[in-house]
Each structure stands twice: as structure tokens, then as C-alpha cells.
Amino acid sequence: MEKYLIAGLGNIGQEYEHTRHNIGFDVIDALVQKIGGDFSLERLAIFAEVRLKNKVLVCIKPTTYMNLSGKAVKYWMDREKIPVDRILVIVDDLALPLGKLRLRRGGSDAGHNGLKDIQATLGTDQYPKLRFGIGNDYPKGRQIDFVLGKWKPDEAPVVDDKIAQSVAAIESLVLEGIEKTMNKVNNSTSGS
């Protein structure tokens, strides 16, 4: 049975729950809830294994904090013997407007510390990434407060919609492949 590693990036701890920076965790939660599975605390991650048709999805929320995400991703890749092209990392992206998703086969970390650490640990940037646009509506010098801040009430419907679209994108990637899914996700005009 083909296995995929689906890693949603974020920070553990109540103060980080449902913040912009933790959108990766929220997407993983929605995915596991939709397919039906339970989380358990395992080595370096909050972990759930779910089945989608004849595929196994190893879903992780690293407990290493964002800047050390590579340690958890590498551990679970090795433990589950998952090749780099069957990893998907879900991450927040300041450069994309709120409501925009972008799926890429590889590419730079774009200054994101979680991706930077994964790239350094794996020795490659050639692994699929689903970037979740959080926008950049903050005053100069307040980037950290913005990223670690909660969504505004008027953003919630867009965020919920995009979380659902992210879950659909993950299912599509696993069942239909990355090319078809990139066309769907990257050409979607809804939300922005």
C-alpha cells in the first residue's frame, strides 16, 4: 500500500492554537476528522494514520516547534519509509493573499523558517508544498504579531472555506497525482 506523509506545520501549545502560523495544524485536523481517525502523541509529532481508498496517509503535526520542523519530517519519512516525492508539507504564506492556495512540486523556502529547516534537514527543496495564503495586512515591524495572531472574525469564513479546499487538494494529490491537483489548486480563482 502506497504511503504518503502529510505534515502540517505549526507550533504546539494553547497560545498558538488557530493562529495564522498554525494553519498547517488546522488543515491536518480537518483532514483526519473528514476521513476519520484519531490522533496520538508519538515521537516528535502528534500523529494519525488514515486510509484513503488504497493509500495510507501518515498525518503529522510536529511537536518540535516550527523552526525545527525538519527533525520531525525526517524522522517520520525514515520510520515509515516514505520517499521525498510522497511528502506534502502544509504551511502558512505571507506572500499570498488570504484565500489563495498554491501547490508546488518543489521550490524555495521563501523565508519560511519551518520550510528552511526541512530543506536543511532533507538536503533538498524538491518536495511538494501546499502554501496557504494568510496575507500581509500588518503595520511595519509587526510581522511576528500578525503571524502569531488569531484570524479576524471577518476572515473566518474564508479560512474555513480554504481549509476545506486544502483537504480536497490533499485527497486529490493522493488519488489523482500532483499534476492534476496543481492545475486545480493553482488555477482556482475563488477567494481571491
pLDDT digits (tens, 9 = 90+) for 112-158: 999 999 999 999 999 999 999 999 999 999 999 999 999 999 999 99
Please give the average per-residue pLDDT across 41-54, as a whole number: 98
State the residue for C-alpha cell 473566518.
156
Is 146 in contact with 136 (CB distance < 8 Å)?
yes
Please give the average per-residue pLDDT across 174-192, as a whole number: 85
Please give the share of the chain, as a percent, with pLDDT higher than 70.
Answer: 98
* Whole-prediction pTM: 0.96
Please tell me the distance from the alpha carbon of residue 121 to that of residue 189, in angstroms, as a whole number: 34
* Closest alpha carbon to 69 in 57, 79, 80, 77: 77
Residues forming the active site: 21
Q: Is the pLDDT of residue 189 over 60?
A: no
Superfamily of segment(s) 2-186: Peptidyl-tRNA hydrolase (3.40.50.1470)
